Amino acid sequence: MDGLTRCGLFRDLPDKELKQIASQFQEVNHAAGAEIMQQGREGAGFMVILTGEAEALDGDKVLNVMGPGEHFGEMALLDQGGRSVTVRARTPVRVAALPKWSFEKFMLNHPVVTYRLAQTLSQRLRAATERARA
């Protein structure tokens, strides 16, 4: 899964660790227009976009457009809450998916990735706070 290397979470990791990480993910294809996850539903996995574009929606409002190397789905797995947004494929999308039952062990076994994920969540929270202030 060469596309995982585009994701900042995995940058500069040793090849051996990258191969081990890639072996835990499964590739899943979604057609343009397909809902990859639905707002409010239980989280089933963590995903990294390998090819294509997807959009994060709050109701009908597009909050973000994501492309290769971007990831989503971690919040619902971390807090066992429902999905905070709907993610819909804008184009055909291929994702690397890590199922929820593997997520905690994965995070514990890869502390650099976990730290980078925490950084990303902090950046997203900061951006959401700024949008709310505007």
- Domain positions in the chain are 2-126
Question: Is pLDDT of 4 > 90?
Answer: no
Portion of the chain with pLDDT greater than 90, in percent: 64
What's the confidence (pLDDT) of residue 50? 96
What average pLDDT does range 70-85 have in this prediction?
Answer: 88
**Polymer length in residues for the chain:** 134
Bridge-partner residues for 37, per DSSP?
Answer: 87
pLDDT, tens digit, 9 for 90 and up, residues 15-74: 899 899 999 999 999 999 999 999 988 878 999 999 999 999 999 999 889 999 999 999
Topology (CATH level 3) of domain 2-126: Jelly Rolls (2.60.120)
Alpha helix positions (H), 23-110: 74-79, 100-109
Closest alpha carbon to 55 in 3, 6, 91: 91
- CA distances (Å), origin 45, targets 24, 70, 73, 104: 12, 14, 6, 11
